[in-house]
Amino acid sequence: MERAGGTPPDRRRARSQEIGELREETCRGLRGRVLEIGFGSGLNLRFYPLEVSSVAAVEPSDVGWKLSAERRARTDVRVERSGLDGQHLAEEDASFDSALVTFSLCSIADPALALDEVRRVLKPGASLHFLEHGLAPDAGVARWQRRLDPVQRRVFAGCHLSRDVAALVGAAGLEVTELRTEYQPGPRVARPWTYGYLGRAVRAGDA
């Protein structure tokens, strides 16, 4: 039975499991020193492979960082907070073996600038792993995404529905080497919110 004003508990659990599986898939292949943009409450920590030695966590929210404390305490991976703004990284050029961003490019004010910064700090041949929602290929859904964007930004801390994630990554000089795009399960009316991008990219020319 569905609770008033909410999603049924079993559906919430199923949705959480689906997103967890996508996070796990996105984290596969991460290694060495990792930059994570939008660390949040540390939901990706349990999916980091053994090859990850340390994480530089970019997280603008003090609340999010505090919420991650318990997860950080449970992991053997060294995690250090590395600034508050993915658009201006306080990290040296070519200093990371991998980078990760999940459900964060939608709310960064200038995602192109943030991706330029990611490219700058990645070592030659290093990869960006990304999991995001964004612009749908269906014209009708895309129209609704653009109509809903102003409300979405106000209600959900600057989140955009209509960003073309693959195009943004490519425009930053990162070559997309793997990409899967699809709607997540759910009613058609939810499609403006459920079109997802899961992929990897390396510095153009360094693949």
User: Mean pLDDT, to the nearest integer, of 140-165?
Assistant: 96
Provide the CA 91 distance to its chain's centre, in angstroms: 19
Say what the pLDDT of residue 3 is.
34
Provide the CA 180 distance to its chain's centre, in angstroms: 14
Question: Exposure of 91 by Cβ count < 10 A (0-12 exposed, 13-18 middle, 19+ buried)?
Answer: middle
Say what the pLDDT of residue 185 is.
83
Q: Can you tell me the distance from the alpha carbon of 116 to that of 51, in angstroms, rounded to the nearest whole number?
A: 25
Domain spanning 9-203: which CATH class is it, in words?
A: alpha beta
Q: Which residues, listed in sequence order, are joined to residue 180 by a DSSP beta bridge? A: 198
Residue boundaries of the structural domains of the chain: 9-203
Q: What is the pLDDT of residues 92-113, one digit of tens each?
A: 999 999 999 999 999 999 999 9
* Residue scoring higher pLDDT (7 or 179): 179
Q: What is the pLDDT of residues 35-82, one digit of tens each?
A: 999 999 999 999 999 999 999 999 999 999 999 999 999 999 999 999
Buried b or exposed e, range 40-60, using 16+ CB within 10 angstroms: bbbbbbebbeeebeebbbbbb
